[in-house]
Every structure is written in C-alpha cells, then in structure tokens.
Chain A
Amino acid sequence: MNPIHLLRVFRCAPRILQTNRFRNFTSCQDKMASIKHKNAKRIEGLDKNVWVAFTSVAADPSIVNLGQGYPDIPPPSYVKEGLAQAAMVDRLNQYTRGFGHPTLVKALSKVYGKVYDRQLDPFKEILITVGGYGSLFSTMQALVEEGDEVIIIEPFFDCYVPMVKMAGGKPVLIPLRLKSSPAATSVSSADWVLDQKELASKFNSKTKAIIINTPNNPIGKIFSRSELQAIADLCIKHDTLCFSDEVYEWLVYKGHEHVKIATLPGMWDRTITIGSAGKTFSVTGWKLGWSIGPDHLIKHLQTVMQNSLYTCPTPLQEAVGQGLLREFELMGKPDCYFTSLALELEGKRDRMAAMLRQTGMTPVVPEGGYFMIVDVTALNQDLSHMGDDEPYDYKFVKWMIKEKVFCFVILGINNKTKHSKMHRIVFKIIYIYI
C-alpha cells in the first residue's frame, strides 16, 4: 500500500503529506542546529502514517469518515456510567499499578481464564497497555531486534511493518490469496488463504516471530483451527514466537468461530495475544488494550512498559474492569455485549453487502471484524478521462467521490493486486457506520 497515492484522492491531502523535513531555516545558526538535531536512526523513514494524514483529512467537515476503524454508535451505557463513577473516587484519579490496575487485570484473568480454559495469573501473565497498538509496540520493543525476521501476512494493519522496522527487525511478507474464481458473485473472507508451501518457505533460523491478526483487518478473515494449526506447526518446528492480534475477537459472525492460537498444543509458551477494550466496548478513544501470555515473555513487555509510559489511566481501567466483570456473568447469553454487538453488526454487514451487490460491485463478506472490502472490477468504469498517471483504483476512488458524491473515505489496499491480470481494486468500508 502506498499511502502517498492513497491520499491524493483528497485535494487537501497532499499538503498534509508534505513532510517538513526539508524546511529551510533563515539563520546560519539554525542551519547548524538542524544538522545536529536530526532524528535517531530508528525512526528513519517511519514518519509517514496513513492514519495521521487520514484523520486530518477526515476532520474536514465536508468529508464523511468511513475509513478509520471506530464506531459512531455510543458505547454501552453501563460502561460510560462506570467511568463517571470512577472519576468521582479520589484514589481513582491518581496513579495505579504500573502493569495494570488490579480491578482490570483480575477481571481479564476471569474472562480469559474461561476463554482459554486455564488459570491466568493477573499480575504476571497480563499487561495493560495504551490500546492494542501499545501492546503491539511493547511486544516488538521487548522481543524484536536487529537480525530478527518477522513474518507478516498481507494485507496487514499498517503499523506492523514500521513497528518491526523501528525495533530493528526485518519484515518478511506473505500474501493471503483469493482462491475462488473472479467471476463468483459471492466471495467470503474465508476464500482468502495462505499457500502452505509459500508460508513454510518464509521460516528460517532468523525468524523471531510471525504476526497473525484474526479476525483480520481489513479483509475480515477468521483463521480456522486447521489454518492456525499449520502456522503453529511451523512456529514449533522453527522455535519462533507468535504475536496474535485479536482485537476484533468478539466480532465473529454466524457460522464462524474465533480460535485462539495460544490454546493450541505447544503454543501458550510462545504466544503473545493482544486484545482491546476500545474494540470490545466500542470505546476506541479510551485507548486501553492488553497483552496476555506466559510470564517469561510478559515480563519483557513489562520492562518496556515501565521504561516508556509506566502506567495507563486509572479511571478508564477501573471502568473497563467493571464492564468486564458484568460481561463475565453474562458470557454465552444473548445479553452479553460481546454477543449482542456481533449480532447487531452482522445485520449491518449483510445490508451493506446487499447494497454493494446491487450497484454491481462484489463485496468480500467478512467472517468477523469491523470492515468489508469490495471488488469494483465488474463495474468496468471507464476512467480514461482522468489521465494516465495514477493506478485505476485511485482514479476510481476520486471518481466515486466527485461524480457520485459517495462519501466513502477509502483505503486502497492489497498491493498484491499488481499480480493479477485484471485491474481490481479493493477498498475498505467501515460498515459499522450505516
């Protein structure tokens, strides 16, 4: 994915992308200062970020933001009330335990103890972080360094590659490929699979870890038990770690099951599993997440935590903890927010897919998660009047916005489309908005 191409869709975007790296200084002294004040090597080339530019663009009131993954429906009322109550308690406005507020880590150990069917030590096997993002960062900083290779499955949530690079590691990419015929009218995220031989070829003695994301962002694929077993077999064979990003774990649609790779034999000791309060309770702006794993790995993430931000906000952790305790009592029942949210979103998913089919596009119906990708090839829209300098997908996006007043904020994804013969584009729509 080339973020620069993507954001040319919006006229105002290029100015945001212009990095001020080459700003000219007026005085001689400033010129000297700029040479010595250069950035550390670890962040070289990591300054561009599609979401940073994207959010600025979306802040323009004339654009409806369907790009970034957050709901515009309110969080459950008891979760908001929990926060209001926590804020009134003096002690809860001050520092709490660095690796996680006791109420929260204990609640997580209860909820996940049930899910994993194992006793989870709240103080040694759980770390609270600033969102799922913060967990990913702590994991990479703790466990990845120069000389390490990290396997990443495409399409991937964009931060994986820069985080691996910032830790000095080398990303090794492998794509999910569509196995069904392009003429099919109904495509599911399950149709995107890994080639087993290709996957095995990516592992070598330098491989430190593989990152998996299930349910996947952007495709919505839920890796099946046998797919995870194939990955697990390779992790065990090559003695590698597994970083499993499961922030959308509760958003699983009918007929599908979310499987935790950490529960497969031999995997608990080598897996860090990442979760998110933001995605669990529709409160992305609370920025709380967690890493769960064996003590001998979590302790390294804790070291990163204590040397980076030390502790997460207290009242937010208290409220999430109380929310989880409530959900624990309801787990498996229709009242449970984890179940009811998935049901609500499944309806929206189906409605969105139907709408897109009616216009001639082919949605990839997700098995889970927040997102849906769509193949627009069948529309065969002639965009030759828009010039030759850009790929078809970006021209299509511009055309959609300008001519159809379709307020999608779109991400062109899947750079592997260059391998296919047809000019397919896919773009990501956040259907949780409709």
Chain B
Amino acid sequence: MSRKLHARRIEAIDKNIWVEFTQLAADYKAVNLGQGFPDFSPPSFVQEAFCKALNGGFSMHQYTRAFGHPNLVKILAKFFSRIVGREIDPMEDILVSVGAYQALFCTFQALIDEGDEVIIVEPFFDCYQPMVMMAGGTICLLYLRLKCCGPVLSSADWVLSPEELASKFSPRTKAIVINTPNNPLGKVYQREELQMIADLCIKHDVICISDEVYEWLTYDGTKHVKIASLPGMWERTVTIGSAGKTFSATGWKVGWAMGSGHILKHLKTVHQNSVYHCATAAQEAVAVGFQREYDVFGTEESYFHQLPIHLHEKRLRLADCLKSVGLKPILPQGGYFMIADISNLNVDLTDPSTKDEPYDYRFVKWLIKEKGLATIPVSAFYSPEHRNEFQKYIRFCFVKEDTTLQAAEDILRQWSDSK
C-alpha cells in the first residue's frame, strides 16, 4: 500500500521497554528480578475461588455486567467504603478494567484532550507518558529529588519541592498523576505531602489520578494514605487499584478505577467503546478473595497483613546483598521494587550494539548477557528529555521466591569476588 497507514496518535509511542527487556531476559534465561511479578503462587483461597468459578455453571463463562461483575463491584464498594470513610456506590463509582493498566488508559482517554496539561512526577511508571501523548495531552514534569545523603538511603529521602510543584499548575492543567507506593522508587507519600498536592488540586480545580496498585505493600510501619480520603478530594480523584498486585496474580489482569460517579461515567464510555467487558471467572474469584479479606481485615490471618511481612524480610535481605557487592540500594518504604546506585562499579561496557544508549541501559543489558541476571534500568522511568541525567540506577523486583533471590545473590557475590 502506498499511503500512510497508521494514525498520528500512535506516533512516537511505539517503543516499549517491557517488550525489549522481557524478551532479553527470556532469551538469556536470566534470573529475573526485572519485570514486576511474583514468581510464587497467589494465595490458595484465591486460586481455589478461581477453580470454583470455572466449575460454577454456564454464566461464569459468558459475558457479565460490562462495568464490572456485580459480585466484584459490590465487595469492592463495601471494602473500600470502610477505608475511604464514605459510602461508595458499586454501580456508579467503580469501573472494573483489564488490569490497572486499562483503568489508566480509560482515565486518560476519557479526560484528556489536546491542549490539556498533565503533571507527572519523575520517576514514573513508564506508561503514563505515552498514554497522555496518545490522548493528545501535554506532559508537565517535575522530579522527586534526593534531599539528603546519609549512610542509609530510603525512598522517604526523595521529596517534592513545594515551590516547584506549585509552579507546574497552570490554567491548562487538567490532571496530576501520583503513584503511591511509587514504582520504581518505593516512596510512600506521607499525609502532609498528599495534603500539599490536594491543596493545589482544589485551588486549581485539577483532577488527581492516583495509582495505588501497591497499596497493601508498605514496610516498617509506614501507612498508605489515600488522597481521595482527604477533604475535597473524593469528587476530583480517580483511584486505580489492581487485583494482580493485591493477590499476587498479575496474569489475571483484573483492575479497577474508583471515584465519583460524575467522573467515572466518562471512563465507562471509553470502556464500553474499547473492550466492553472483562473476563467473568477471574472477576468472580477476585470478589471471593476480597470478601474473605473483608471478613479478616486487620487480623493476622489477612493476606494484606501477611504479604508485606513476608516481603519485608526479602527486601532487607536483597538490600544487604547489594551493599555487600558495592551497590548502593535505596530502601523502599513500599511496593515491589528497590533501586540501587551503580555508579561505584566500574564495568567495562564495550558492547557496540548499546553504545548510544544511557549508561544504565547498557549496564542492565551487560548484566543480563554476561551474568544472567535481569533488572530494569531506572532511566526508563524518566522522560526521554531527562533520561541522561538519571543513568546511574537500576531497579530490582524483590517479590520473588527465596530460591530466586538466592540465585541472584550467588551471581552478584561471584561477580564481586572475581573483581
């Protein structure tokens, strides 16, 4: 065909780090601490619920309610009403989506037009930028900056400058995206930080898109605060959640957007004109999982209580190992990931195929190919304009079986010993 075929909306968003690095990790059969998924199974009560759903009669295999399986939206409303402190309407205030990813997509497509500005905090989960671009919006960036340099670095040391934040809001600002706990840093925004953001959202009448997929994973007593629960914020916030991250079942791709009906209805319009329904059986299983968690919430039996305890140790163990081989980890307050400063290592990266790429990309590819260990370069979580300023960190996912972490440790120690 001689004519131009593709739509302009997909120009400049064709590259994707996950496609590239997942393939590389698979090709080299690397020990995979790269992409964010557990290599252990979901909890048995949720797996059993899925199997039960499969055998639950013909309706489990046919279309369910487009905006969310009734059992699921009802329990989500009940569960989160208790946390947010308001009555959430299951039919009006919730949209179930194909993973949190699709909830983000629906949000941007529903609310962002050409000329709208969207504030994004760097480092950010990489899909925010292309999604805003695909919706025709303009991105306004600001950094989390390291405020101090002590011997033990924590994600809490990365903060927003109030003046810089305020300066990003303009009459064209439609939305700000926050992610807490943050990917890749692991930062958990404190109430005061969220209040600062909330004040600006209210002052400038801006929507807040709050990606909270890691909401149950906080460590060292850190509390996750929902910005939607702050005064004046429910009516202007879309909160995104994920069953995949909640129940360690990323492959089920069940997520949701939650917020005031007057905003959610626009996300529903996108949803009904894009995928229309999500898979029924998986939604049923997630509903059963949430019912169980509702009943045991706050007790030791709760998966939301047990999983962070379980991961707390893995996080410390990985941090110790990284330190011992000369990497400088930044201890995350929450989430799946830990980033580490690689600038102390002097590795000779002579692979000509990567010579034009940022240092961390080159280092990660070298680590996969030469050492069989997969991680993700952190500059991928910065905008292309700023990528070159943040080339010295790589990201590890520690939500893995002990055997996987052990294998990673062995590789690192062997490498360190051989230097």
Contacts and interface: CB of A to CB of B under 8 A. Distances in A.
Contacts of B41: 90, 93
Nearest to A41: B113
A308 B102 contact: yes
Interface stretch (B16-24, B157-165, B349-357): B16-24
B98 interface: yes
Contacts of B62: 70-72, 283-285
Contact of A142 (B10, B135, B274): B10
B109 A311 contact: no
B392 interface: no
A300 B6 contact: yes
Contacts of A92: 251
Interface in A1-36: 19-21, 23, 25, 29-30, 32-34, 36
A329 B13 CA distance: 40
Contact of A137 (B22, B63, B97, B274): B274
Given A33-B235, A51-B276, A84-B54, A39 B111 contact: yes
Nearest to A168: B7
Interface in B309-347: none
B267 to A, nearest CB: 9
B5 A309 contact: no
A21 B263 CA distance: 10
A269 interface: yes
B207 A37 contact: yes
Contact of A316 (B6, B35, B273, B279): B279
A192 B92 CA distance: 42
Interface string A119-148: 000000000001101100100011111000
Contact of B112 (A34, A40, A90, A168): A40
A279 to B, nearest CB: 11
Contacts of B263: 37
Given A130-B98, A309-B99, A284 B273 contact: no
Contacts of B275: 130-131, 133-134, 137, 287, 309
B37 interface: yes
B238 to A, nearest CB: 10
Interface in A49-101: 49, 51-52, 55-56, 59, 68, 70-75, 80, 83-84, 87-88, 90-99
For chain A, which range describes its interface: under 10, 10 to 19, 20 to 34, or 35 or more residues?
Answer: 35 or more
A143 B262 contact: no
Interface string B90-130: 00100001110110010001111100000000000001001
Contacts of A41: 113
A308 B134 CA distance: 10
B372 interface: no
Given A51-B276, A75-B61, A94-B39, A36 B269 contact: no
A96 B18 CA distance: 11
Interface in B372-418: none
Given A20-B261, A239-B1, A316-B279, A84 B113 contact: no
Contacts of A283: 61-62
20 contacts: A20-B92, A30-B235, A37-B263, A39-B111, A47-B269, A51-B66, A72-B58, A90-B41, A97-B22, A137-B275, A145-B8, A168-B7, A241-B5, A285-B63, A303-B13, A306-B16, A307-B127, A308-B102, A311-B253, A312-B253
Interface of A: 19-21, 23, 25, 29-30, 32-34, 36-37, 39-43, 46-47, 49, 51-52, 55-56, 59, 68, 70-75, 80, 83-84, 87-88, 90-99, 130-131, 133-134, 137, 141-145, 159, 162-163, 166-168, 239, 241, 269-270, 282-287, 296-297, 299-300, 303-304, 306-316
Given A95-B35, A143-B5, A315-B251, 18 more contacts: A21-B265, A33-B236, A36-B174, A39-B269, A40-B110, A43-B266, A52-B66, A74-B61, A93-B251, A94-B38, A130-B278, A133-B276, A142-B7, A239-B2, A300-B5, A303-B13, A310-B127, A311-B99
Interface of B: 1-3, 5-10, 13-14, 16, 18-19, 22, 35, 37-42, 47, 50-51, 54-55, 58-67, 70, 92, 97-99, 101-102, 105, 109-113, 127, 130-131, 134-135, 174, 202, 205-207, 232, 235-236, 248-253, 261-263, 265-266, 268-270, 272-282
List of 6 A-B pairs having minimum Cβ-Cβ separation, nearest first: A314-B251, A285-B280, A145-B7, A309-B102, A39-B266, A94-B37
